[in-house]
Amino acid sequence: MNLSDRTQLRRLPKRGSHETEAIHQILDAGFLAHVGFCVDGQPFVIPTLFGRAKESQSEKLYMHGSAASRMLRELDTGVPACVTVTLVDGLVLARSAFHHSMNYRSVVAFGTARRIDDPEQKTQALRVISDHLIAGRWNEVREPTEKELKATAVLEFAIEEASAKVRTGPPLDDEEDYALKVWAGVLPLEIRTGSPIADDRLPHGIDAPAYVRQYRNGTHTK
């Protein structure tokens, strides 16, 4: 993976990494990305689901949406884009307002995208997105029809360079503030799943599969 000035870690560089493994771990733990790009000088940032083929050392992400999606049409022209993925793990409450922070894991990736037109490759990319979100689901559901594939745009985003940044641990106060009678510490945050809610039109006797019941905090259970 190439590195340039745009992925140089300037602020608190000790929290950053350009290691491929660190970047992949964060991408694989998340499923919501924000995609930034410019059109005629106007910046846009659009949230979207994404997928990465985790069995490989792939430097490609896959995104999909309506064939009429402005974002996907613009990205397909080859405009430079920035994809960010952030996981918030906790609020860091310090003794001073200045040193409040949060524990997080994030990736900033730069690159360009291309539209996938080949139906077989398109279907495989959609499977990657589905398995990234909840592994095992694709094997049970009906695959897209030819009409549905035509109505769906799928992009392959090639990561040219990327950086990861992570903060963990307690607040870092000024030494003189540790004597203040103010509670300080970390309030953990996490995405949690509840009990599956069956569709009202689901026939009796069809139970939620294990990969749904056992889905926990980014763990994709087959």
Per-residue pLDDT tens digits for 120-137: 999 999 999 999 999 999
Lowest mean per-residue pLDDT among 58-62, 124-128, 211-215, 216-220:
216-220
- The residue that leads in pLDDT, 121 or 55, is 121
* The token pair that represents 55 in the structure block: 């069995």
Contact status, residue 124 vs residue 209, Cβ threshold 8 Å: no
- The residue that leads in pLDDT, 141 or 18, is 141
- Is residue 138 helix, strand or coil? coil
Contact status, residue 214 vs residue 137, Cβ threshold 8 Å: no
pTM of the model: 0.88
Long-range contacts of the stretch 39-47 (C-beta < 8 A, 24+): 39/74, 39/79, 44/71, 46/71
Contact status, residue 84 vs residue 25, Cβ threshold 8 Å: no
Q: What is the pLDDT, as a whole number, of residue 177?
A: 98
For the cut 70, the answer to whether the pLDDT of residue 56 exceeds it is no
Q: Which domains does the chain have, with CATH numbers?
A: 5-195+202-213 (2.30.110.10)
- Report d(CA 179, CA 130) in Å as an integer: 51
Q: What is the pLDDT, as a whole number, of residue 1?
A: 59
